[in-house]
Amino acid sequence: MSSSDEELSLSLLLPSSKVIALRSALLDWFEINGRHWIPWKLKADGTKPDSGEMLCVYKIWIAEVMLQQTQLKVVLPYWESWMSVFPTLPDLANANEKEVLMRWQGLGYYSRAHRLHKVANIFMNLIGSKRSLNSCFWPRDIETWLALPGIGRTTAGSILSSAFDLPQPLLDGNVKRLLARLFASSKPPKRDLFRLWLISEQLLSPLKPRKFNQALMDLGAMVCTPFNPRCDICPWQEYCSAYALGKQKEFPVKEPAKPLPFEVIGIGVVLNHHHQILIDQRLEQGLLGGMWEFPGGKKEVDESIEQTIARELKEELSIEVEVGEKLIDFEHAYSHKKLRFIVHICKWLRGKPQPLASQKVEWVSPESLENYPFPAANTKIISSLKKYLNTDKLTKDP
């Protein structure tokens, strides 16, 4: 910690009377209004844990990784389905990559699924298959968790406080917003992390860390919401600087918005004479690694979309096609760019498909497409393709 950090941390020490008042108002609110039903925060018999009682680390770790960038209500069915297929660490470690991606399909940020699988194998070496079934043998120190790929301070803090009731602070998106409003932070949260972490640490109840952290997340998610904070029912109203200023919606201070880069992508749904469809598997590294997709690529300036598709299929798969009618045209936004996909049905003419820019290519029947993990954008293509094939088009050449 630098001397300026130390000065800042001393200046941030909240008066203990205020800390105690904030803690107790929040914990009282949580008892009545909190989300006490979250399945991985309950014991195996469905009851609430007592103070200091251990919960299943494996279940909490999976949930916390799923919750990175994703809301609880979205995660719930994925977590349930995951637990029905990989109920324990050895089940996950021994699964193949395709099964893991299939369970993740639709959650986005697929590198998280790859990392979960990788970390499952690290834990198998660290803890052992049999001992992994008992949470006692899982690591309780934050350094071990932070050394794992894909685990940041919030995820580690949430796992340790939820599973072992240890006093580790957290700072997820909801909590950043809540604390930025409570103290009317003058900087966007991204530029004020040091201060926000200190506040989260100072507020944390040393006696009830699991309850306190859950209460903080629940208040952020249910009351101090992004667009319409429910200050009328907020237990922190009398302490809230943004509320006192009457400017709740002006906090957190926003970063100036940058427009997302935009690209047009030409995609070919290639059919052969046996009415099989050509799909390829993305390289393991990079965005959507290991997922399957329909081939295509970025449209160059002064190129028609038909030319883009024919060129991309030649360059990336070494095949020649006749580009036919348009199947679908839609936009899809990722966190870092926005894409417009223009998809055409193509007739394969010649050339054995080669995975020149992917790791694998396969001809598959339309029915078997659902056995492959596809990114969310491709599911629109699959449903349009199903409609297309259900017409009389299959009886004709594409």
Q: Which is nearer to ligand SF4, 2 or 227 (CB)?
A: 227
SS3 state of residue 392: helix
Peptide bond into 252 cis (omega under 30): yes
The catalytically annotated residue of 64, 293, 306, 312 is: 64
In the bound complex, what is the minimum distance in angstroms from residue 198's beta carbon to ligand SF4?
Answer: 18
> Which positions from 168 to 187 touch ligand SF4 by CB under 6 A, shown as an x/- string?
----------x--xx-----
Minimum Å gap between C-beta 223 and ligand SF4 is: 5
The vertex-212 CA angle with 209 and 218, nearest 5°, equals: 140
Q: Is 64 a catalytic residue?
A: yes
Q: Whole-number minimum distance, CB 238 to ligand SF4, in Å?
A: 8
What part of residues 205-224 is at the interface with ligand SF4 (CB under 6 A)?
223-224
- CA neighbor of 170 nearest in space, from 143, 197, 147, 202: 197
Give CA 146 to chain center in angstroms.
18
Give CA separation, 287 vs 67, 112, 260, 352, in Å: 19, 11, 17, 27
Decide whether 229 or 268 has the Cβ nearer to ligand SF4: 229
If DSSP codes are grouped into helix, strand and coil, which group holds residue 211? helix
Output 31 or 325, the one with its CB closest to ligand SF4: 31
324 SS3 class: strand
In the complex, what is the shortest distance from the CB of residue 199 to ligand SF4, in angstroms, rounded to a whole number? 13
Q: Are the beta carbons of 381 and 269 closer than 8 angstroms?
A: yes
**Interface mask toward ligand SF4 for 121-160; x: CB under 6 A:** ----------------------------------------
Q: What are phi and psi of 388, to 5 degrees?
A: -60, -45
- Cβ proximity to ligand SF4: between 23 and 181 the closer is 181
Nearer to ligand SF4, 55 or 215 (CB): 215
Given the structure tokens 């598997």, which residue do they identify?
281
DSSP 165-230: --------HHHHHHHHHHTT-SS-GGG-HHHHHHHHHHHS-SS-HHHHHHHHHHHHHHTS-SSS--
Contact 169, 157 (CB under 8 A): yes
Count the residues of the shown chain that bind ligand SF4, applying the rule CB under 6 A.
15
**Which residue(s) pair with 342 in the sheet?**
266, 329
Asked if residues 327 and 345 have their Cβ atoms less than 8 Å apart, the reply is: yes
Closest separation between CB of residue 123 and ligand SF4, Å?
38
For residues 222 to 251, the per-residue mask of contacts with ligand SF4, x marking binding by CB under 6 A and - elsewhere, is -xx----xxx--x-xx--x-xx----x---
For Cα atoms 340, 343, 348, give the angle at the middle one, nearest 5 degrees. Answer: 145
- Residue with smaller CB distance to ligand SF4, 21 or 142: 21
Q: Which amino acid is at 286?
A: G
Is residue 246 within 8 Å of residue 323, measured between CB atoms? no
CB of 20 to ligand SF4, least distance (A): 17
Residues that bind ligand SF4 (CB under 6 A): 178, 181-182, 223-224, 229-231, 234, 236-237, 240, 242-243, 248
Residues carrying an active site annotation:
64
